Amino acid sequence: MTIKIKRKRRPIFYLAHSFSERHWVRDVLMKRLQKAGIQTLNPFYNPDGSWKEDRPEVKHADLHGGITTRFKRIVQRHAEEIVEGDLALIRRAVRDGGGVVGYMVEPTVGTSSELFYCGYVLKAPTYLLTPNTKLRWHPWLRYYCVIVPSIRQLILKIKELYKIGRV
């Protein structure tokens, strides 16, 4: 797949993460990256932290205490739209000169797939932030991701790649 890339001074990164980590990513990671001048595309929330209109399952889970039977029905009914929407956001980030920042505490299918798509298929900048030392040494992740243990190191790596000012 070939994507025409526009290099921007202010990079944009898709935030790959599990559903269970969505609040931490929205409330901590997304805000820190934005404060550092790194634009983000979160598959679950808008840049201001509000719900996305095309992700009703997220709003439902937030309002009703997590994963319910209705939540599962929504996800099953819209699986193709959810995956295709996420892939489109990744392509948009890459087209705009960025890539993917993943956050994993434990291995997850969706996050691993998004990292693989960006890093291996699209050959774009792909970072993995993980506190899990076992994941930092996994050969598949090391092959197509730059793995960092802290948000500070993540920001330093991105700014180094894009030659952006201080952290």
Is pLDDT of 167 > 80?
no
Mean pLDDT of 39-51: 94
Q: Hey, what domains does the chain have and what are their CATH numbers?
A: 12-44+85-162 (3.40.50.2300)
pTM comes to 0.90
Give the pLDDT confidence score for residue 164 in this predicted structure: 72
pLDDT over threshold 70, residue 9? no
pLDDT tens digits along 69-94: 988 999 999 999 999 999 999 999 99
* Tokens (6 digits) for 14: 């898709």
